[in-house]
């Protein structure tokens, strides 16, 4: 996160991707041109291990290590982190089709970034995207109409298919391949669709236009049409959602990490600015009300980070520990929902700490603010995520037990946490109208998990401030409502304020 890297981030966002659909002779190109700064950021992040490195790393905690790297690169520049995230997330889904995985994993594991538009066989490393949603269905992917017709006699898992249809939201359209959902004769299925065909010719994937988005501007998001695109089925026919959900779970982890990173970026800006600016005769961060706001922002940032990192740890252990797999099943949507809901209000408050300076582009806070709602939309908006939590609890009741057992590790450490946990148990035991109460239930689940983790891991000042304001009945309010504790505020702010290297 050097000054040079921040310059790259600014250039990548100021110079948006450009779509070239045809050449001067009218031939299809379907090429998106990025500013060189974008490619430099991609090379930095993939080379540092923010993409698929954890799946090929035998060290303990490989996914936690990768998550920490992603937190840093996302905070630097969020747009390029989208293809980085999807390239990481594709690995477990591809492994449903071992022969396809065997072909692609060496390229995913290489740590090399090659932005050239050419066949996989000519590249040292690849990036991968996904395309699920369509105009008529959005999150309801079972309403998809894109068809998949078998080519020749080899159908079913690993078989070749021709895809005809469209995808309404395809981010990173210059990826070397995509996981897509399409309707095969046996139902909605998952497919690997490369940009280039095995014979070295282009796959007919037509980029229709790029989205003009609120934020995430360095990252191209497109609408595509599939004009007989060649693809191979991944996983069982008719089980496409079950297959691709492996990818979705990993990208939902990155939604939580990304939103935590947005908060961290806001804390960096707010604490640094107020520490170096005086108003009304005193340094801003030494004034009681501002100190309360800053400390509150820091507490929220730390709570988001510890929950996201605990979720990352389940990806390290889920293959060998059934309890971690159950925890992952429930904590993934819980963390995604709450962390992503808190990011926009956190970004707005952080911006306000800079006053008018926070509203000008040079401060980077407008870019942070524009980015803050994205993860709440990507991979399922709030209602979709809460319904996923209910579905997980219904299908795997034991996941609730494991979730509460994780919280109970902190039992007896703080009376407010114990009381909040008891209220949550009562909510979970009441099955009446739970769908209409789902947001409140999921919020409580997230808060007690954050409280339990902070009580065990964070300094007393941080955990105490969190429990005092987030675990009271009625939940958290606006930032800056911590109980007065000047020395505690100072300790929290000093813990989070960036310190320049010597």
Residues 11 and 14: their CA atoms lie apart, in Å, by 5
| DSSP tag of 477 | -
Give the domain-ending residue among 218, 238, 258: 238
Q: What is the CATH number of the domain that holds 375?
A: 1.20.140.10
In the chain, how many domains are there? 2
pLDDT in 10s for each residue of the chain, 502 residues:
688 999 999 999 999 999 999 999 999 999 999 999 999 999 999 999 999 999 999 999 999 999 999 999 999 999 999 999 999 999 999 999 999 999 999 999 999 999 999 999 999 999 999 999 999 888 889 899 999 999 987 799 999 999 999 999 999 999 999 999 999 999 999 999 999 999 999 999 999 999 999 999 999 999 999 999 999 999 999 999 999 999 999 999 999 999 999 999 999 999 999 999 999 999 999 999 999 999 999 999 999 999 999 999 999 999 999 999 999 999 999 999 999 999 999 999 999 999 999 999 999 999 999 999 999 999 999 999 999 999 999 999 999 999 999 999 999 999 999 999 999 999 999 988 999 999 999 999 999 999 999 999 999 999 999 999 999 988 899 999 999 999 999 999 999 999 876 5
> By the 8 A CB rule, do 87 and 127 touch?
yes
Phi, psi of 37 (to 5 degrees): -60, -35
Tell me, yes or no, whether 147 and 62 share the same domain: yes
Residues 69 and 63: their CA atoms lie apart, in Å, by 10
Calculate the CA dihedral of residues 257, 260, 264, 265 and round it to 10 degrees.
Answer: 80
Residues in the chain, total: 502
Q: Which residues contact 163 (CB under 8 A, 6 or more apart)?
A: 146, 147, 148, 180, 182, 191, 193, 226, 228, 229, 230, 231
What is the domain range of residue 388? 243-496
Residues 348 and 297: their CA atoms lie apart, in Å, by 11
501 in any annotated domain: no
Tell me, yes or no, whether 120 and 262 share the same domain: no
Tell me, yes or no, whether 357 and 461 share the same domain: yes
Give the domain-ending residue among 188, 221, 238: 238
109 in any annotated domain: yes
Tell me, yes or no, whether 286 and 145 share the same domain: no
- Tell me whether strands 282-283 and 278-279 are parallel, antiparallel or unpaired: antiparallel
| DSSP tag of 475 | -
Tell me, yes or no, whether 187 and 275 share the same domain: no
Tell me, yes or no, whether 261 and 364 share the same domain: yes
Say if pTM beats, i.e. exceeds, 0.75: yes
Tell me, yes or no, whether 225 and 321 share the same domain: no
């Amino acid at each position: 996160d050097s000054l040079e890297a921040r310059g790259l981030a600014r250039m990548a966002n100021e110079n948006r991707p450009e779509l070239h659909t045809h050449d001067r002779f009218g031939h299809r190109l379907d090429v998106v041109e990025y500013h060189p700064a974008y490619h430099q950021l991609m090379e930095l992040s993939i080379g540092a291990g923010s993409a698929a490195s954890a799946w090929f790393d035998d060290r303990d905690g490989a996914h936690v290590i990768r998550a920490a790297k992603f937190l840093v690169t996302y905070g630097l520049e969020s747009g390029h982190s989208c293809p980085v995230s999807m390239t990481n997330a594709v690995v477990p889904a591809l492994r449903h089709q071992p022969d396809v995985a065997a072909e692609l994993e060496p390229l995913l594991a290489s740590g090399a970034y090659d932005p050239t538009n050419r066949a996989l066989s000519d590249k040292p490393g690849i990036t991968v995207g996904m395309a699920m949603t369509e105009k008529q269905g959005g999150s309801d992917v079972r309403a998809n109409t894109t068809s998949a017709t078998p080519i020749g006699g080899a159908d079913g898992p690993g078989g070749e298919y021709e895809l005809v249809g469209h995808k309404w939201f395809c981010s990173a359209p210059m990826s070397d391949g995509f996981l897509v959902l399409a309707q095969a004769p046996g139902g909605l299925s998952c497919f690997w669709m490369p940009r280039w065909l095995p014979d070295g010719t282009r796959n007919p994937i037509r980029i229709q236009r790029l989205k003009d988005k609120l934020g995430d501007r360095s990252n191209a998001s497109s609408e595509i049409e599939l004009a007989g695109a060649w693809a191979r089925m991944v996983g069982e026919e008719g089980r496409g959602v079950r297959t691709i959900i492996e990818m979705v779970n990993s990208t939902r982890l990155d939604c939580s990490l990304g939103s935590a990173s947005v908060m961290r970026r806001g804390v960096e800006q707010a604490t640094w600015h107020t520490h170096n600016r005086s108003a009304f005769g005193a340094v801003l961060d030494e004034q009681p009300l501002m100190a309360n706001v800053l400390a509150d922002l820091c507490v929220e940032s730390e709570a988001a980070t510890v929950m996201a990192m605990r979720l990352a740890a389940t990806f390290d252990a889920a293959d060998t520990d059934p309890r971690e797999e159950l925890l992952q099943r429930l904590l993934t949507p819980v963390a995604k929902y709450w962390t992503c809901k808190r990011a926009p209000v956190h970004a707005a408050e952080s911006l306000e700490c800079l006053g008018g300076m926070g509203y000008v582009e040079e401060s980077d806070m407008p870019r942070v603010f524009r980015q803050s709602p994205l993860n709440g939309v990507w991979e399922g908006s709030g209602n979709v995520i809460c319904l996923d939590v209910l579905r997980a609890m219904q299908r795997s009741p034991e996941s609730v037990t494991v979730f509460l057992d994780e919280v109970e590790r902190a039992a007896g450490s703080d009376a407010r946490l114990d009381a909040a946990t008891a209220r949550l148990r009562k909510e979970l035991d009441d099955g009446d109208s739970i769908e209409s109460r789902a947001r409140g239930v999921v919020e409580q689940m997230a808060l007690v998990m954050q409280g339990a983790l902070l009580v065990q891991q964070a300094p007393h000042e941080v955990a105490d401030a969190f429990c005092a304001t987030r675990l009271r009945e009625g939940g958290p309010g606006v930032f800056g409502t911590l109980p007065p504790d000047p020395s505690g505020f100072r300790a929290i702010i000093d813990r989070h304020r960036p310190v320049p290297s010597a």
